[in-house]
Amino acid sequence: MKFTVKSEKPATVKTGCVVLGVYERRKLSEAASLFDKSTRGLLTSLLKGGDMDGKCGQTLILHHPRGAKCERVLLIGCGKQSEFNDTRYRNAVASAAAAVNRSGASDAVSYLPGLEAGGRDTYWKVRQLAEVSTRVLYKPDQLKSKKDKTSRPLRRLAVNVDSSDTDIALKALNHGQAIAAGIQLARMLGDLPGNICTPRYLAEQARELGKTCKQLKVSVLDEAAMKKLGMGALLSVARGSEEPARLITLEYRGGNPDDRPVALVGKGVTFDSGGISIKPSPAMDEMKYDMCGAASVLGTLKACVDMELPINVVGVIPATENLPGGNASKPGDIVTSLSGQTIEVLNTDAEGRLILCDALSYSEKFNPEVVVDIATLTGACVIALGSHAAGLLSNDDELAGELLRAGTAAADRAWHMPLWEEYQEQLDSNFADMANIGGREAGTITAACFLSRFAGNYHWAHLDIAGVAWKQGKEKGATGRPVGLLTQFLLDRCGSDC
Ligand code: BES
Ligand code: MN
Ligand code: ZN
């Protein structure tokens, strides 16, 4: 989709479709009202006739409105004006994108950014429009032999803003499209099945990304190289698989050469069967999504490249399968991590932390200023927070605050959970330095406690994305979260430079 900026009156703009907001009880938005005046009360009379009330989610299309230059007008119900806010704005934009795409119009001009939405500025509204519209039009049909194509899909979408806001809108579209492309990459990788998206496939994707930008350096370690380094925890997870593990690093150097980078560490378990501590079969297919942390790292780096952010970012992706096999790790096995600490593997299904701990130790070589790891780490997080917020745990409250604010700004929220000392003893083991599980209580927190022991000399935060990385049910599919949060976090760190 191509996005552009316009600054024209709704009745005189030439386009396949003009998109206007209408509030509940038939209250016209400013742009709709302007359109109404130029068309001699066309909208007013239509609404009076009962065709639409303006409730949330309602849409109505008129063809060849007399007195206007467009082929169609699409009215979007926005609900009560007093209750309209940023979330409803996103919903309105989503139903508009879906409806225009179905309408047969191949181009459209949206006046929705003119709506007052919980105090959000034009930059936010325009950027969200690009992100949300792209999200709505994505279909996970990569592997369908016959794709059900819309006969005339939407190809060009213009956002209408005041002429004084043109520059800011262009910047917002630029950012929005880059972020949308990052989200899309993360979704595509997440939705791919485990027989295609293997550790080697992820490495290949990273290399492809590296080819698009000379500031991005990609390197891949194989199992022999990891063994040499001493990554006993990571390799213990890969033992049950035929498919070999990989450690992928992507170094994006957009900032000053001596600026310490932000490191993003993403869990890349391309299929998690649980290993010898095997999972029950219902919904086990969803464990192809256990690499969504890795996918979000690739998506975020893609967005950095597309926006040419003046910042240094390193992505580290430990990638492996977790399968049972004659050579697989067994409950009770004790392994030695890269840090030298020993771990008693009491449950082979707590594998994410085993690969992340070695990746966290490995990240130190980049001398990072902060490290954020992203992982579909615990079912307990889904129970605690459901599918709306990622769990956030950190050894630094300031960093946690930055990430929380980024999540709120990007409509990709996280929620802070405690990482208190008191929880650490749940990981005690009689035989090794620690166990890899901490019992039934506070599973998300004890998983983070485990990781904290490997987050050496840097500020570190952990995002548990088990509840937010994909959707179940009719709309089953990867969400691309938390690419939005992470790119916002990086944008904020660039300050006014971008
Ligand atoms: N990948 C899973 C976590 C998960 C489960 C994410 C369900 C989303 C939905 C992780 O590797 C895992 O299996 N965690 C175990 C940890 C337990 C053995 C301490 C869990 O959450 O059950
Ligand atoms: Mn597991
Ligand atoms: Zn897992």
Domain ranges for the chain: 2-137, 180-492
The CATH number corresponding to 2-137 among 3.40.50.720, 3.30.2080.10, 3.40.220.10, 1.10.1040.10 equals 3.40.220.10
Instruction: Tell me how far apart the alpha carbons of residues 281 and 380 are, in angstroms, rounded to a whole number.
Output: 18
88-93 contacts, C-beta under 8 A, 24 or more apart: 88/56, 88/117, 89/115, 89/117, 89/118, 89/120, 89/125, 89/128, 90/128, 90/132, 90/411, 91/56, 91/57, 92/21, 92/56, 93/128, 93/129, 93/132, 93/133
Reported as a single tens digit per residue, the pLDDT across 99-142 is 999 999 999 999 999 999 999 999 999 999 999 999 999 999 99
Does residue 293's CB lie within 6 angstroms of at least one atom of ligand 1? no
Nearest to 494 by CA among 330, 310, 232: 310
Pick the catalytic residue from 353, 413, 453, 493. Answer: 353
Instruction: Tell me how far apart the alpha carbons of residues 428 and 435 are, in angstroms, rounded to a whole number.
Output: 6
How many A from CA of 469 to the centre of ligand 3?
13
Same fold, 2-137 and 180-492: no
Beta strands 72-77 and 59-63: pairing type?
A: antiparallel
CA 120 to chain centre: 21
Nearest to 188 by CA among 291, 262, 335: 291
Instruction: Tell me how far apart the alpha carbons of residues 197 and 269 are, in angstroms, rounded to a whole number.
Output: 10
Residue 231 has what pLDDT?
Answer: 99
Residue 150 has what pLDDT?
Answer: 82
**Partners of 391 in the β-ladder:** 415, 464
Residue type, 331: P
Residue 498 has what pLDDT?
Answer: 81
**Can you list the residues of the chain whose pLDDT is less than 50?**
none
How many A from CA of 469 to the centre of ligand 1?
13
Residue 497 has what pLDDT?
Answer: 78
How many A from CA of 447 to the centre of ligand 3?
12
Atom number, ligand 1, closest to the C-alpha of residue 469: 8
Instruction: Tell me how far apart the alpha carbons of residues 269 and 348 are, in angstroms, rounded to a whole number.
Output: 13
- Cα diameter, the chain: 83
Q: Tell me whether the omega of the peptide bond preceding residue 193 falls within 30 degrees of 0, making it cis.
A: no
Tokens representing 166?
């043109």
Does residue 349's CB lie within 6 angstroms of at least one atom of ligand 1? yes
Is 279 catalytic? The answer is yes
Does residue 380's CB lie within 6 angstroms of at least one atom of ligand 1? yes
Contacts of 278 (CB under 8 A, 6+ apart): 324, 349
Instruction: Tell me how far apart the alpha carbons of residues 437 and 414 are, in angstroms, rounded to a whole number.
Output: 24
Question: What architecture is the 180-492 domain classified under in CATH?
Answer: 3-Layer(aba) Sandwich (3.40)
pTM: predicted TM-score of the whole model, two decimal places = 0.98
Residue 457 has what pLDDT?
Answer: 83
Is 40 catalytic? The answer is no
Residue type, 233: A
Residue 456 has what pLDDT?
Answer: 84
